[in-house]
Structure 1
Amino acid sequence: MADFLLVHGAWHGGWCWRRVVEILAGEGHRVFAPSLTGLGDRAHLLSPDVGLSTHVDDVLALIEAEELADIVLCAHSYGGAVATQVADRVPQKIGALIFLDALLPQDGRSLLDLDSPERREAIVSRVVETPRGPVLPPAPAALYALAAPQDVAWVDRRCVPQALRTYTDPAALTGAWMQIKVLAYACTLRFPAPDFRDLAAQLAKDPRFTIRELASGHDAMIDVPQDVADLLLSSAETARAAKATCAAPAETPEGTAS
């Protein structure tokens, strides 16, 4: 049995992992798919104080409360900025880290800092001021290139505005997350924006990363849940093998355990 922790992307909530959760839980694994503060079933907690560090603390608190270890941590889209910082804080508790069309943050820089000036201006122009602080309204689900019209309608129905601070707060990283033995990046092929495919191509040069492609839209956990579950299960198996190798006793030159 493995422990899976799934971090959703912008405007979404834990609900978007429902199909993957059913597959993994059906095979006897423990699966956690929390909604980050101000999103999903926790949309009522949106406030001016919610920022990127709030979401990092959400996931760290769950790990602590559930006493998780050897976690298979998977992040989608914006969730990459959250999961990378979580993994950086507790790398010893992460067996595998999988990025699914996900952003990779940089120390001291916000997600908006990583965008081009043109895209940054386009994002800021969409900001809406509310009594709960400035927010970014959800992008239309049609942009995600989902295969089924009913899924597009579901995503549009469930997505909610997200606190702007989650995109303007700088990330805090030491690089400790790169110690994790199993690192994988999966990009989707039907999502029209090339950003995540470009990132996968860059990471393909790093021998620490395994690169996968999924024939789906951006919300692969909705579009191809079995493929995503298979990726997570194979990552869990690789992490178990890596842990067993590290735990195996060293042998003397004569071939006996030292």
Structure 2
Amino acid sequence: MKAQASTYVLVHGGNMSTETWNKLAKSNIHTPDGKMGGRIWDPIIPFLQTYNNQVFAPTLKDEHQSNLTEHIEEISTIITGNHLENVVLVGHSYGGMVITGVATMMPDKISSLVYVDAALPDPGQSLFDLIALGGRDPLSFAGLEPAPPYVEKLEFNPQVLNGLPKIYILCTESEFVTVTHVAREKIASHPKEWTYLELPTSHVPMASMPEQISQLILENTANR
């Protein structure tokens, strides 16, 4: 029997500079604005597209000219505008805030959620709140500013996500380990709701371990 194809919508975190990406990926990419946006997913898209899987990897609006609510609306519009069903939502870093918001708005469209070393909010928390909970000053991370998306608190009903398969992939060598430690504690308190996985790599496994992160996503989400 032929396996049914899956649809993946990939949501990036803070808009990484090409300079940072090139150091991580040992590449020499140049873009018009010097930012990567959704291009951070480029190394894993070919892997995810196997078995005729459909993949969307948009670039979110500039964080200085939009907020978390608008980013959630952007991803929601991609899903509704393309009449997507059974979507695997994948969020990296700040993208965890976005996919949580999207899933609570349209849980019937989502087949599973994948958090890649990502923010895992409770209702009423912002990205900056999560960093502070981990014992770090958000401004201590190079390049991280109090832009609107990062300080906006996400209000949602967590019960809407009950029963929805959720996967967390923690990068053990991440510079955001204090933040992901908070996520790990939340997951440990509700182990039956989660598939918890680890990769021995930095915060951006799409650059350092593209094949391995792709395999983890495919193995845990395909044809749910």
User: TM class, shorter-chain normalised?
Assistant: 0.7 to 0.9
Cα offsets for 1:26-69 (capped at 9, x unmatched): 44210001111116xxxxxx52xx11111101100100111111
Residues 221, 228 of structure 1: alpha-carbon distance in 2 compared, 3 angstrom cutoff = same
TM-score (norm 1): 0.69
**Match in the other structure for 2:73:** 57
Alignment of 1:109-120 (within 5 A): 109-116=125-132, 119-120=136-137
Query: Percent same amino acid among aligned pairs?
Result: 28
**Match in the other structure for 2:158:** 175
Alignment of 1:12-161 (within 5 A): 12=16, 13-38=37-62, 47=65, 50-116=66-132, 119-120=136-137, 123=139, 138=143
Does the Cα contact within 8 Å between 1:91 and 1:176 map onto a contact in 2?
Answer: no
Does the Cα contact within 8 Å between 2:7 and 2:84 map onto a contact in 1?
Answer: yes
1:229 aligns with 2:214: yes
**Match in the other structure for 2:184:** 200
Gaps of 5+ in 1: 40-45, 127-136, 140-161, 241-258
Q: For residue 198 of structure 1, report the CA deviation from its aligned partner.
A: 4.7
- The higher radius of gyration belongs to 1
Residues 222, 99 of structure 1: alpha-carbon distance in 2 compared, 3 angstrom cutoff = same
TM-score (norm 2): 0.79
Does the Cα contact within 8 Å between 1:96 and 1:235 map onto a contact in 2?
Answer: no
Moved over 6 A (4+): none
1:212 aligns with 2:211: no
Distance 1:92 1:202 in 2: 24
> C-alpha root-mean-square deviation of aligned residues, in Å?
2.4
Length, aligned pairs only: 197
Distance 2:79 2:146 in 1: 23
> SS at 1:217's partner residue?
coil
Does the Cα contact within 8 Å between 1:75 and 1:99 map onto a contact in 2?
Answer: yes
Gaps of 5+ in 2: 17-36
Does the Cα contact within 8 Å between 2:92 and 2:115 map onto a contact in 1?
Answer: yes
Distance 2:61 2:146 in 1: 9
**Match in the other structure for 1:186:** 169
> SS at 2:44's partner residue?
helix
